[in-house]
Amino acid sequence: MLKMGRSRALLAVLAASAAGTASAVSASASRAAGKPTLIVYSAQGYDKAVVQAFIKATGIPTKLDDNSTGPLLTQIEASKNNPNWGLLWVDGDTAFAGLDQQHLLLRGYEPMVNWTPLAKSLLPKDKSYTPTGLTAMAAVVYDSTKVSSPPSTWQQLLSPKWKGAVGMNDPSQSGPTYPFIAGMMNYLGGVAKGKQYFAKLKANGLVVNPTNGPTLQALTSGQIKLALVQSSAGVGAALGDKSLRVKYLSPATLLPGCIGIDAKAPKAEQQEAERFIQFVLSKAGQRAMQSGDPTGDSLYYPVIRGIAPLKGLPPLSSVKTQRLNPYAWGGREAAINSWFDSSIK
């Protein structure tokens, strides 16, 4: 009886131990099956609204790192051997082409959506990034109570009439500004001629501020008379101040807002990032984009059929634009931005 009691006790201990081990394994498996957190690097004014709508719609845990484009690209470059981002969402496909050329973007994903014809022409062949909206760079914003005859060509900005009166953004901070600079180089016939143009602008008193906001503030405070900013920022400012006007000099450079996925992210996070992109281009995602920053980044031209731009935007067909080859200009971004900061800023 004594031995049998010991045996039963031993069996009870073993059973309890086995149950405990099974519970630990089950808990471990449950943790492993949990959804990873999607890390979103973004410089879009509507990104918080979209992330919140995405979490509500999918339940996928998502963390937003909101910053200007320049610092976000610096973070990606600094951590490219051990990245901690899931997807990047900023304006300018040149930045994405540059990342793709470094093999930092996941290739082969394209959401199932009904693209506009223009959007189709912007899709990269290797499907390494996705356009989400269009703006133009640069729009010329001015105060109509102080400027009665704004310039009508890019060359007129070099006139003594506008000495010390023109302001623009720093491309190392402002994502839309490098495509503008590259666009001017493309329009004028090459890098060297473009550098000559900006050197002349500097000699004529060009004022450089970090981003759209400070450049527009310099305009409204009277420090400058002409602000060269992203079209969405310019139109938004004019909606809030009826004395401001927006003019497009020919050509303005087409500026796609894009999303790309980290090529080195865990597979589960890449799949979440794909769901995020699909959501952004859904009707619910577009509603969030257009409501998140109605006097700023929400003033974009949609890339999906059936989605109308917000009121206040001129028809895109009324603006003469040029499109940059992002793969021809993307790899030059770091060198040109460095030159601008050392020679023009």
Q: Are residues 171 and 98 in the same domain?
A: no
Q: Is residue 105 part of a domain?
A: yes
Q: Are residues 150 and 200 in the same domain?
A: yes
pLDDT band at 25 (very low <50, low <70, confident <90, very high): very low
Number of domains in the chain: 2
> Which DSSP string do the residues of 183-232 spell out, in sequence order?
HHHHHHTSHHHHHHHHHHHHHTT-EEESSHHHHHHHHHTTS-SEEEE-HH
Query: What pTM does this model have?
Result: 0.87
The CATH number of whichever domain residue 308 belongs to comes to: 3.40.190.10
Summarize pLDDT for 244-265 with one digit per residue, the tens. 999 999 999 999 999 999 999 9
Summarize pLDDT for 299-311 with one digit per residue, the tens. 999 999 999 999 9
Amino acid identity, position 58: T
Q: Is residue 282 part of a domain?
A: yes
- Is residue 115 within 8 A of residue 304, CB to CB? The reply is yes
Cα torsion 136, 253, 217, 259: sign: positive
Q: Is residue 50 part of a domain?
A: yes
Q: Are residues 238 and 158 in the same domain?
A: yes
Q: Is residue 329 part of a domain?
A: no
Q: Which residue segment(s) compose the domain that 160 sits in? A: 137-253+337-343
Q: Is residue 19 part of a domain?
A: no
- Is residue 61 within 8 A of residue 55, CB to CB? The reply is yes
- Is residue 150 within 8 A of residue 142, CB to CB? The reply is yes
d(CA 5, CA 19): 21
Summarize pLDDT for 89-138 with one digit per residue, the tens. 999 999 999 999 999 999 999 999 999 999 999 999 999 999 999 999 99
Q: Are residues 130 and 260 in the same domain?
A: yes
Q: Is residue 11 part of a domain?
A: no
pLDDT band at 324 (very low <50, low <70, confident <90, very high): very high
Among residues 71, 69, 108, the alpha carbon closest in space to that of 89 is found at: 69
> Which DSSP string do the residues of 140-157 spell out, in sequence order?
EEEETTT-SS--SSSGGG
Q: Is residue 169 part of a domain?
A: yes
Q: Is residue 196 part of a domain?
A: yes
Q: Are residues 45 and 75 in the same domain?
A: yes
Average pLDDT over residues 70-85: 94
Q: Which residue has the tokens 């304006």?
A: 91
Q: Is the preceding omega at residue 138 within 30 degrees of 0, hence cis?
A: yes
φ, ψ for residue 293 (rounded to 5)? -155, 65
